[in-house]
Amino acid sequence: MKAKTGFILFGLAAVGLLAALVSYGKVGGDGAAGKAASKPPAPALAVALVAPRLTDWPRVIEASGGLFAWQEGVIAAETGGLRVVEVAVDVGDRVQRGQVLARLDQDTVKAEVAQQEARVAQVRAALAEARANGNRARSVKDKGAMSEQQITQYLIAEEAAKANLAAAEAALEMQRLRLAETRVLAVDDGVISARGATLGTVVQPGTELFRLVRQGRVEWRAELTAEQLAQVRPGQEVALRLPGGEGVTGKVRIASPTLDAVTRYGLVYVDLPTDSPARPGMFAQGSIRLGASRALTLPESAVLLRDGSSFVFEVLPDEHVAQRKVETGRRADGQVEILSGLDAAARVVESGGAFLADGDLVRVEVGAAPGAQGGA
């Protein structure tokens, strides 16, 4: 009986001890949970802030196109059957209007000029004789010393001699012009761009001997869409980048009034300085400056590209971030234009947005307050 009573008492003691242990564990567990619940969440990232800036930005149209001579002058032989005896210039030479570029053989033409001068002298002598006979006929016309038929013949002979002299003098002038045409002259100031004249070649009328860039002027012909073409005006400044890396500044002369029916592009003609390194035949990129407009800008590091769209992270007053979808525009000098989707007074994460998600808690670095909104 005593053994049974002792066993019962031992069991009761064990149950009490177990209950005490369970109660202690529960109390300790609840305390740890409370501590964990009271501990604030850790920031996902330490960030610097930047504010959008409102400033004046240049409006430009990026385009490409070829370089061409403003106008070309073709210098051809005006007479034929003569041999080239001198070529005075070559490709690349700068020439002036009226300068001798080449000479043709003059010996044959000079002989023809001398022959025609002799012919003129003969016709003048014949005219003098015919004029004397005519004067004699007119003086005896009313005296009956000469028949009417003979008087008429003398007067007609005088008129024919005058016509022969005029024809001979015209032929002489033609030969003199042909002699002058043996000197091939520049039709305008410019730079020789092609030479077809070869020493010893017998040329024919119309044979192209030289080609020159008139006044040395080169133009850029930019290809633009109809929407871009509508914004271009004469006098606008153009910055051109040549294939060799050189920069050239020009001005819009005129925009094409029509567009190509196949490509749907129109041309803008841009005058370039005559002393520029631009050469006809080059292909260049350029920017047509349309003026300036106000723009809301952010650093490129603040704009994140995801799934083909642009986003920024705005820091809210409670230090959590909100992802904002924005529409971007122009880019220049590490800045990007924000067209829509963001308030000008917003605080934006300057960099590191790729490591954030919408609603994350961040820690703003000390001294990283956003810059003040400004304007140029």
pLDDT tens profile 120-144: 999 999 989 888 888 888 887 767 6
For residue 302, pLDDT beyond 70: yes
Dump pLDDT digits (tens) for 176-223: 999 999 999 999 999 999 999 999 999 999 999 999 999 989 999 999
Q: Which of 26-40, 281-295, 322-336 has the lowest mean pLDDT?
A: 26-40
Mean pLDDT of the chain: 84
**Cα–Cα distance, 60 to 329 (Å, whole number):** 12
pLDDT value of residue 146: 77
**Cα–Cα distance, 344 to 51 (Å, whole number):** 7
For residue 149, the model assigns a pLDDT of 83
Whole-angstrom distance, CA of residue 15 vs CA of residue 79: 135
DSSP letters, 108-147, are HHHHHHHHHHHHHHHHHHHHHHHHHHHHHHHHSTTTTSS-
Helices (H), 39-106: none
Nearest Cα to Cα of residue 169 among 108, 117, 110: 117
Q: What is the mean pLDDT of residues 287-300?
A: 87
Strand segments, DSSP code E, in 51-104 are 53-69, 72-76, 82-87, 94-95, 100-104
Contact 123, 221 (CB under 8 A): no
Q: Does position 38 have pLDDT exceeding 70, yes or no?
A: no
Q: What is the pLDDT of residues 330-353, one digit of tens each?
A: 887 888 888 888 888 888 988 888
Percent of the chain at pLDDT > 90 equals 48
Strand 335-340 with 283-299, pairing: antiparallel
Q: Three-class SS of residue 37?
A: helix
Chain centroid to CA 370:
40
Averaged pLDDT, 148-153: 84
Q: What is the structure's pLDDT at 21?
A: 43
Q: Are strands 100-104 and 82-87 parallel, antiparallel or unpaired?
A: antiparallel
CA distance 13 to 15: 5
In angstroms, rounded to a whole number, what is the distance separating the alpha carbons of residues 164 and 120? 9
- Taken in order 105, 111, 112, 116, is the CA torsion positive or negative? positive
Residue 12 has pLDDT above 70, yes or no: no
List the structure tokens of 262. Answer: 């196949």
Q: What per-residue confidence (pLDDT) applies to 250?
A: 94
Query: Which long-range CB contacts under 8 A does 104-109 form with residues at least 24 apart?
Result: 104/77, 104/79, 104/181, 104/182, 104/183, 104/184, 104/203, 105/182, 106/179, 106/182, 108/81, 108/82, 109/79, 109/82, 109/175, 109/178, 109/179, 109/182
What pLDDT score was predicted for residue 288? 93
CA distance 199 to 85: 6
Confidence of residue 20 (pLDDT cuts 50, 70, 90): very low
Q: How confident is the model at residue 152 (pLDDT cuts 50, 70, 90)?
A: confident
The residue type found at 157 is A
Q: How confident is the model at residue 373 (pLDDT cuts 50, 70, 90)?
A: very low
Instruction: For each of the domains in the chain, give its residue range(s) and CATH number, in order of start.
Output: 46-59+293-364 (2.40.420.20), 62-70+214-291 (2.40.30.170), 72-102+185-213 (2.40.50.100), 106-181 (1.10.287)
